[in-house]
Chain A
Amino acid sequence: MSDQRPYPDEPAGPFPEPPRSFTDADGREIELRAFAGESEEREGLVEMYTQFDPGDRAQGIPPAQESRIRSWLDTILADECHNVVAWHGEAAVGHATLVPDEEAFELAIFVLQEYQKARIGTELIETLLGYGASEGARKVWLTVERWNHAAVELYRKTGFETSDAESFELEMTILLAEPK
C-alpha cells in the first residue's frame, strides 16, 4: 500500500548535514554526529534512555526497562534507518531518528531533560533532515501528542505541516528538497 498522507507542495531545505557542533543556550559545547554503528555509540544511547524521565515518554517510547530499550534501539538503529546523536563530551544527550515506512520515513526526536529548551532540539532535527536528505529520504512524517505544544511548534518551525488533525495524535509531514 502506498503512502496516502498529504505532503506539502513545496519541498523544504536545504538542511545542514552532520557532523556539526554548536554552543547551546546554556553555553555547553554540543556535537551532532551521524550514528555509525559503533558499540560505544549504542551504549551511550542506552545510558541516555535509561535516564529518561517517564513524563517525557511519547506514545510508549522510549520504553522504561533497559532490556526493552535495547530491543527498541535494535529496531531504530538498523542499517536502513538514519540516526543523528547529540553528544556533550562522552554523553549522549539527544537523539533523532528516521525509520523507513515504505517509501517514506517516520521521525522521532528525544532530548534528555536537563538539555531541553537550549536549542538542541532545533539543531538536532534540522541536522537529521539534512542527513536524511543526503541519504535519499524525501517524504518524512511524524505523530505528536496534541497537548505537546513545544514539540508541535518545533516541527512547524522546521517546515512540517499538519496532515491529519482528526486522530488522537496530530500527524505532520514534510517533503525534503534534493540536496544540491
Chain B
Amino acid sequence: MKVLLGLGQGSDAASVLERTAERTVAAGDDLTVAIGGPGSLASVEELEARARETLAEFDLDASVRIVEGDLGSRLVELAEQGGFDRIVLDGGDRSPMGKITISSTVEFVLLNARTSVTLLR
C-alpha cells in the first residue's frame, strides 16, 4: 500500500514517526513523508532531519519531502497525483483541558481526500 504521512508543526512528531515506521515495516508499505508549515522554515527543516533519523533507525527507504503552502491541500493533491492509498496524520492534539482538537490540516484532509485517512491517537 502507498502511504502518505503528513507531518506539521503541531504534531507529536517523534511518536507519529515511530508508529508509522513500525506499521510500515510490519505491513511492507511504501511510505512517503510530507513535511510542511505553518511555522518557520528552520523548524520545518528540523522536522525533516528528525524524520530522516527515525526512518534510518527503522532501516526504511522512504522518501521525505518538504511541501510549501497549505499542508492540508498539498497532501490531498499529492495523494491524488501520486496514486496513494492512504493519508496518515496526527489526530491526537489536545487542549489544556484534554479535549481532542481537530487541526485545520486534519479537517481539510478529512473533508477533501479521496483516499482513506488514518488519524493516529
Contact = CB atoms under 8 A, between A and B. Distances in A.
A168 B107 contact: yes
Nearest to B121: A60
Contacts of A14: none
A104 to B, nearest CB: 9
B101 A99 contact: no
Given A167-B107, A168-B107, A108 B96 contact: no
Interface residues of A, number: 18
Contact of A169 (B94, B97, B101): B101
A143 B96 contact: no
B69 interface: no
Interface in B66-121: 94-102, 104, 107
B33 to A, nearest CB: 25
Interface residues of B, number: 11
A91 B3 CA distance: 50
Contacts of B100: 59-60
B104 A167 contact: yes
Interface residues of A: mostly helix, strand, loop or mixed? strand
Interface in A141-180: 143, 167-169
Contacts of A60: 94, 98-100
Contacts of B107: 167-168
Closest 3 CB pairs of A and B: A59-B99, A60-B100, A168-B102
Interface of B: 94-102, 104, 107
Given A101-B95, A106-B95, 4 more contacts: A97-B97, A99-B97, A167-B104, A167-B107
